Amino acid sequence: MKLITWNVNSIRIRMELIEKLVALESPDVLCLQEVKAKEEDFPFDEVKAIGFEYVALNSMAGYNGVAILSKLPLSDIKKFDWVGKKDARHIKANIGDVEIHNIYIPAGGDVPDALENLSFAHKLTFMDDISEAWEKDQSMHQKKVIICGDFNVAPLENDVWGHKEMLKTISHTPIEVERITRLYKSLNFVDVMRKLYPEPQKVYSWWSYRNPNWQTNDKGRRLDHIWATPNVADKFVSGKFMKEARSWERPSDHVPVVAEIKL
């Protein structure tokens, strides 16, 4: 099974690029974030035309939204709300006995202070809520779980272009790393892409729209992740970051992250 996670920053704007990605990579499962389309506006027909018979969607008007597109049957679909907000950031579906969670963690704004910046407080609490729920739910500890998506945190030193320069920049601050590490430990996840691309390799999945020279200075961050519980992580055999997609016409600022698993 080939799984791809991608923050598309509007599925309707990016539909031609999704078609291009599917033609190039033939994924079985495509987890999208920031679809920005409520259910009645979601392009179900176009998605079906490129091979995805099954769709799990958690969406809202204008913002956020996550979707799991699959060529394989999906079951036990569930939407999650965290921090008391219905903001369409988390959906889960099963493929066989594997749970796939597609999560879009809040970006957190620009000021890394939870007292001054409510968006940052929301981000931290969002991660805490999922961590606490999974730590307490003993049934989760027996399952085969894959989580992927735009986590908006680059946790490791080599997940950013400059570790020391970015310690006060949202996405790489120590408090965010602490919170994402708690989530990581909640089910003893394995960072699939770091298993395939061990540190100190620098690997990125996001380059800012504000940086016109992104290719030459390569100031990226690894914000998009695929994690798996140990009982399924060893079945991943390959993966890649599709940096070339950042140069496509009208690109997202994120690129697809691809992983293959032998189930």
Tell me the per-residue pLDDT of 185-207, one tens digit each, with 9 for 90 and over: 999 999 999 999 999 999 999 99
For residue 219, pLDDT beyond 90: yes
For residue 63, pLDDT beyond 90: yes
pLDDT at 135: 98
Give the residue-averaged pLDDT of 154-177: 98
Please answer whether residues 133 and 206 qualify as being in contact, where contact means their C-beta atoms are separated by less than 8 angstroms: no
pLDDT at 83: 97
**Residue-number span of the structural domain to which 131 is assigned:** 2-261
Domain count, the chain: 1
Instruction: Please give the Cα distance from 177 to 157 (Å, whole number).
Output: 10
Q: Is 250 left (phi over 0), alpha (psi -120 to 50) or beta?
A: left
pTM given for the model:
0.98
pLDDT at 150: 98
For residue 47, pLDDT beyond 90: yes
Average pLDDT, the chain: 97
Tell me the per-residue pLDDT of 80-89, one tens digit each, with 9 for 90 and over: 999 999 999 9
Confidence of residue 50 (pLDDT cuts 50, 70, 90): very high
pLDDT at 154: 98
Helix/strand number for the chain, H first, E second: 7, 12
CATH number of the domain that residue 131 is part of: 3.60.10.10
Instruction: Please give the Cα distance from 261 to 248 (Å, whole number).
Output: 27
Give the residue-averaged pLDDT of 224-236: 98
For residue 263, pLDDT beyond 90: no
pLDDT at 71: 98
Quote the DSSP letter at residue 178.
Answer: H
Instruction: Please give the Cα distance from 153 to 170 (Å, whole number).
Output: 8
Tell me the per-residue pLDDT of 1-27, one tens digit each, with 9 for 90 and over: 999 999 999 999 999 999 999 999 999
Give the residue-averaged pLDDT of 225-232: 98
DSSP 3-state percent helix, strand, coil across the chain (nearest 5): 30, 25, 45
Closest-CA residue to 155 (of 193, 125, 129): 193
Angle at CA of residue 45, ends 40 and 48, nearest 5°: 125
